[in-house]
Amino acid sequence: MTIKLFSLSQRKADIPDFTSHFLAQSCQAQSRPLMTLSQSDLRRLISYAYPGNIIELAAILNRAVIMSPAGQLIIPEAGSLVGAVAKEMPSASTCSPRFPG
């Protein structure tokens, strides 16, 4: 059986919700108060193609939280991490989930 899932670049309208989820997850993991993005950074995240799909979005936001100074509630220039994270990620073919079938 084949299940068709749309790539993140085909689901641009969902990126703000995914962003909120991954920011909350990263902030909790780092024991930090909930942080937010500027509207310009959110627009940049929405406009990106995501060759690493949703894993890349999660990695961008996690890195943004880690790199932000303590006590800061708005992540400075998270959009500058777009593309930089993709260079460090394994290709999609090496991180695709395999389900027993």
pLDDT in tens, the chain (101 residues): 999 888 998 999 999 999 999 999 999 999 999 998 888 889 989 999 888 889 999 999 999 999 888 888 888 766 677 766 656 655 544 444 444 44
Note whether residue 98 is domain-resident: no
State residue 93's pLDDT score: 43
Residue 78 to residues 41, 63, 91, Cα–Cα distance (Å): 6, 9, 22
Give the total number of structural domains in the chain. 1
Q: Given its phi and psi angles, is residue 29 left (phi above 0), alpha (psi -120 to 50 degrees) or beta?
A: alpha
CB contact at 8 A, 26 and 61 = yes
Residue 71: inside a domain:
yes
Residue 49, in any domain of the structure: yes
Q: What is the spatial distance between Cα 33 and Cα 9, in angstroms, rounded to a whole number? A: 29
| CATH number, domain containing residue 44 | 1.10.8.60
Residue 92 is predicted with a pLDDT of 46
Query: Which domain does 80 fall in, by range?
Result: 12-86
Q: How far apart (Å, rounded) are the C-alpha atoms in residues 30 and 45?
A: 22
